[in-house]
Structure 1
Amino acid sequence: MTDDLQRIPVSTGVTLDVQVAGDPANPPLILLHGFPESHRTWRDVIPDLARDHFVLAPDQRGYARSSKPAGVEEYTPDKIVADLIALADHFGLATFTLVGHDWGGAVSWMAALRHPDRIARLVIVNAPHPFIMQKTLFDDPDQRAASQYITAFRNPDLEAHIAKIGLSSFFDGSFLQHTDFDKIADEKPVYLDQWGQPGAMTAMLNWYRASAIVVPAIGETPERPAYLDGPFPPVTQPTLVIWGMNDAALRPSQIEGLGDYVPDLTLTKVDAGHFVPWENPQAVIAAIRAWEG
């Protein structure tokens, strides 16, 4: 039985801090966090899952003390998916269940589509399907309005603004708008330490800058991506989607019609906002356990 943070160099050229828990002989799970977090997204979920799974929870590239390669182009989703597969290779995992929240979920959707031979089952926690997200940014005014922060995060002047006001004020003015502070009060120093690592804030924001997703301004009518009006490949794996229904950033349109793109879908709605794994970890655990049977 292991339960520690290991520093793992992988074949994509980055080194990742990875929480490793459970017996390697048990079925493997890889847990991917989102913005602006780390492996600690899963801090209240891992102990239960590790009872009968081998669990890997990396700090993804750009986060905490994992590698932070320079340049926006180093944070395109294909490179992050490649890190995931390289991590699985490092531990000799031929197939595994993939669990992702927020940006980690976005990576998980792409990984499941690109590597169905490696990812046997998929768990998504409040992370939009790529086709539905792009479509709703054009067709759902509510989602478009809720996503304007993405444009703000892509602003190259944002780091200078954060440096001026300080990380603590940025935490209070942005992250806390989507959280119940009482549930993470003890974690604030951890976040500030991770965000304060050299290059971390730019690297984290580069995930948004490197993304190809189009976020129209409110009232704008840009050219519609052609693929939105054609067929989109299905996710073939058995898939559990856990959705916190009080999410202010991802509106209910993200789960409408999801079964059209995920034929083997189980959808579990839970009482939480966007940051479900620490707002309501017991609901995440219960949903996964029920789905596993």
Structure 2
Amino acid sequence: MSGERRVALSTGIEMNVALAGPDDAPPVILMHGFPESHRTWREVAPRLGDRLRLVMPDLRGFGESDRPQDVEAYATDTLVADIFALADALGIDRFALVGHDWGGAIAWAAAIRANPRITRLGIVNSPHPLIFQKSLIEDEEQRGASQYMRAFRSPGMEAGIEAMGFDTFFDKSFARHVDMARISPSERQIYIDQWSRPGALTAMLNWYRSSHVVVPLPGITVDLPEWTLRAFPKIAIPVRVVWGLEDKALLPIQLQGIGEIGDDVDVIPLKGVGHFAPWEAPDQVAAALGPFLAAD
């Protein structure tokens, strides 16, 4: 990818951003997840950049962007505000949003708030917040698959990762989810170098610590949080969900009821593809998102 630059945001941080595509093409902001950076899109971007203006930030706490250390700096409202501040800084009025993993969580949150600046929503293996929270309470398999979230919230997690070494952490983060042969030694080293910087681990883990998602221990009965019982806003803009069905962290139960979360929702399931679909299946992800994002 080319065209990286640091952008000062009105939310008080500087964000590293990769840019691609024609300036006069429909703008799209693509947001990565944990524990990555804009490089999530490194194989997808060349397949979309001829027809879209791609804006691919390192989200706050990740990659080359600023790394605030307070948990409060990663509140959902702040993370959503970063996206609109980035659009403002680049002179973009209306735009589509695409998110994978945690980037998808912020994309969902922004779309649920119904800001008229968002034109379309693309989601890659990132659960709708209401469906996800209910599944963590009601489905033992999803609850078990999400226990890592409890570990990442632990105050001792940074020390644990440093003790195991970043190479081992890389393997634990990705080996169960993606063909490691697809990751070159140089690509691996970029991630490890970024994670090794002062405060990087805390910044990344603070995304989990700031989240209000309830992840109960296995085998116990827990009531649904009160917010899940209230009327939940429907999303009015078109939504396309692209989902690798072999995701071991976010199970196919996340697609149950997904058509009811908005007025115009479609799902593109990817057989034989896991959580890191932009890595594993860039052709399929680009084919699913490209026409959708370029539509009037």
Cα distance between partner residues in 1 of 2:223 and 2:290: 43
Correspondence for 1:274: 275
Give the alignment's Cα RMSD to 1 decimal: 1.4
Q: Is residue 69–residue 202 contact of structure 2 (8 Å, CA) maintained in 1?
A: no
Corresponding residue for residue 121 of structure 2 = 122
Deviations 1:226-274 (A, max 9, x none): 2323321111110110000000000111011111112201110113100
Aligned residues: 292
Give secondary structure in 1 for the equivalent of 2:3: strand
Instruction: Tell me by how many angstroms 1:115 deviates.
Output: 4.0
Distance (Å, rounded) in 2 between the aligned partners of 1:248 and 1:262: 26
Counterpart secondary structure, 1:52: coil
Matched, 1:213 2:210: no
For residue 139 of structure 2, what is the aligned residue in structure 1? 140
The farther-off stretch of 187-196 and 26-35 is 187-196
TM-score by length of 2: 0.95
1:79 aligns to 2:78 (yes or no): yes
Query: 2:238 aligned with 1:238, yes or no?
Result: yes
Match in the other structure for 1:288: 289
8 Å CA contact retained: 2:174, 2:180: no
Alignment correspondent of 2:263: 263
Structure-2 separation of matches of 1:227 and 1:164: 38
Number of the residue aligned with 1:32? 31
Q: Which residue of 2 aligns with 1:63?
A: 62
Q: Is the 8 A contact 1:65 1:197 kept in 2?
A: no
> How far is 1:47 from its partner?
1.5
SS of the equivalent of 1:8 reads strand
Q: For 1:95-106, what aligned pairs fall within 5 Å after superposition?
A: 95-106=94-105
Compute the displacement of 1:290 (Å).
4.1
In structure 1, give the amino acid aligned to 2:210.
Answer: A
Q: Which residue of 2 aligns with 1:169?
A: 168
Task: After superposing the two structures, state which structure 1 stretch, 113-122 or 77-86, moved more.
Answer: 113-122
Task: In structure 2, list runs of 5 or more residues that go unmatched.
Answer: none
TM-score, normalised via structure 1 length? 0.96
CA distance in 2, matches of 1:175, 1:198: 22
Structure 2 letter corresponding to 1:147: S
* Counterpart residue identity of residue 241, structure 1: V
Corresponding residue for 2:91?
92
CA drift at 1:166: 1.1
CA contact (8 A) 2:114 2:236 kept: no
Cα deviation per residue 1:80-122 (whole Å; 9 max; x = unaligned)?
1110000011112111010100000000000111243111000
Q: Which residue of 1 aligns with 2:252?
A: 252
Unaligned runs of 5+ in 1: none
Identical positions, percent: 48
Structure 1 match to 2:200: 200
Distance 2:94 2:78 in 1: 19
CA distances 1:168-217 after superposition (whole Å, capped 9, x unpaired): 11112333222210111332111101111211111000000000000011
